[in-house]
A and B are shown apart, each in its own frame.
Chain A
């Protein structure tokens, strides 16, 4: 029986312990700061925030290239010669990474690609769904596993609130008027993944502790999330008391497991410090 190896991009923000536990292969995406290209993970999130506070600019982000995917797949094949690779990829609607993976995959056999149409916690939820299935049923047929993962892709839900509008403004994602008005009135846009694209769906007004709770309750009202697992996402700077409060709400609404994930540099360049997000899979 051939072993199934899962791979994904660093934009999934998978916690290290989960990566190690399930031996998930992670390929880094890119963060470009001050003209220098860094692999996601080389730069700390604090360095990204510091760069913004010094220059009022945000680093740009770039996709993983074909060569890097070829290296990843070759490395997996060298370590696990008879393996079947299932690459669970970052949304093709917001990054060229998946296209690069498709090109790289042409030279490999027994390699399957799944476009999750999701990022960060949403992508991580799908990867972890595959990893858990594989753990529970190690002899699962690859085709069956792929079918199951593909069927869960439209059920992955991600919503997040940026800590402030500063990073969205620096990235040209909010107008000057929205930035000034939003800052004065403490309005934050809720950003969700819809058909693979990041779109702002509604707005919340007030302190982060209040809006984070509203977002979590609205999210749970809107989506019938599987109570086995919830992923909560934070970017550096989110208050510890808010984290405890969110965890309590999640437990009180019946979630068996709550996993916190820190947004990496790739996602933090959009959300800024103190952002909060939720991801889960619908039943």
Chain B
């Protein structure tokens, strides 16, 4: 399988998993923020992949690579947020 395919699939999976986790542990306004950032990240990743597949770029995937880095950073912080929220809410109970 091409590297870009499994890398994109893994990125999608981690992004969706991380934001689903964040969504279920967050409350009130932060739920809204999680949705906005999550949908934004998904849209950016999808658009970049489609653009890269459709256009005959000769950029050695520089643009797509930068988007993937950004998505991984967002996923990482979303996961951190979910973990902290989860443990703090447990502590609160």
Contacts and interface: CB of A to CB of B under 8 A. Distances in A.
Interface stretch (A120-128, A136-144, A175-183, A248-256): A175-183
A189 interface: yes
Interface string A155-181: 000000000010010001111111101
Interface stretch (B1-9, B18-26, B29-37, B53-61): B53-61
Contacts of B61: 178, 200, 203
A190 interface: yes
Nearest to A165: B59
Contacts of A32: none
Interface string A179-218: 1011000010111000000111111000000000000000
Given A177-B48, A177-B67, A178-B66, A200 B60 contact: yes
A174 B56 contact: no
Contacts of B40: none
**Main SS class of interface, B:** helix
Contacts of B67: 177
B58 A182 contact: no
Nearest to A183: B62
Given A175-B55, A177-B67, A181-B66, A202 B60 contact: yes
A65 B62 CA distance: 36
B60 A168 contact: no
Interface string B38-49: 000000000010
Interface of A: 165, 168, 172-179, 181-182, 187, 189-191, 198-203
22 contacts: A168-B59, A173-B58, A174-B57, A174-B58, A175-B59, A177-B48, A177-B63, A178-B57, A178-B61, A179-B59, A179-B63, A181-B66, A182-B59, A187-B62, A189-B58, A189-B60, A190-B60, A198-B58, A200-B61, A201-B60, A203-B60, A203-B65
